[in-house]
Amino acid sequence: MLHGAKPRRRRRSASQARVYAQPNFELLIPEECPADLHREIASIARIRSLDRFWTYVLSPDSVARGVEEGLTAEQAVEKLESVVEGTLPSNVSVTRS
């Protein structure tokens, strides 16, 4: 006798994917988020761990790497604002000179 298949978790589309920003500069990304979102975040943050949530860490070096690859600080913040659930922590901002 065959049993019915268990319902699978529905994956969010790329437009629904959300990142959770922590005040300690960590970004938590659920494992079901699409690869493009991981590539975008990896351009300005270093991956710390892989688990149910992938943990990326923003650091001056990681952001500098993104700038070296052609991003401006404003673009990096815009990217974060577009994917982070809620508001960014106050310690993540663009300093204008």
Give yes or no for a contact between 44 and 65, defined as CB atoms under 8 angstroms apart. Answer: yes
Residues facing 39 on adjacent strands: none
pLDDT digits (tens, 9 = 90+) for 17-70: 678 888 888 888 887 888 888 888 888 888 888 777 788 888 888 888 888 889
Q: Report pLDDT for 91.
A: 67
Question: Residue 64: which domain range?
Answer: 20-77
Strands 46-49, 26-30: pairing kind = unpaired
pLDDT score recorded for residue 40: 85
> How is residue 15 annotated by DSSP?
T
Count of structural domains within the chain: 1
Residue 9's pLDDT is what?
A: 45
Q: What is the length of the chain?
A: 97
What strands, in cross-sheet order, belong to the sheet with 53-57? 20-21, 26-30, 53-57, 46-49
8, part of any domain:
no
Q: pLDDT digits over 3-21, tens only?
A: 454 454 444 444 566 788 8
Nearest by Cα to 44 from 82, 6, 4: 82
Identify the pLDDT of residue 21: 85
Q: How far apart are CA 97 and CA 82, in angstroms?
A: 24
Structure pTM? 0.52
In a domain, 83, yes or no: no
Domain membership flag for residue 6: no
Q: Which has the closest alpha carbon to 17: 28, 7, 8, 25?
A: 28
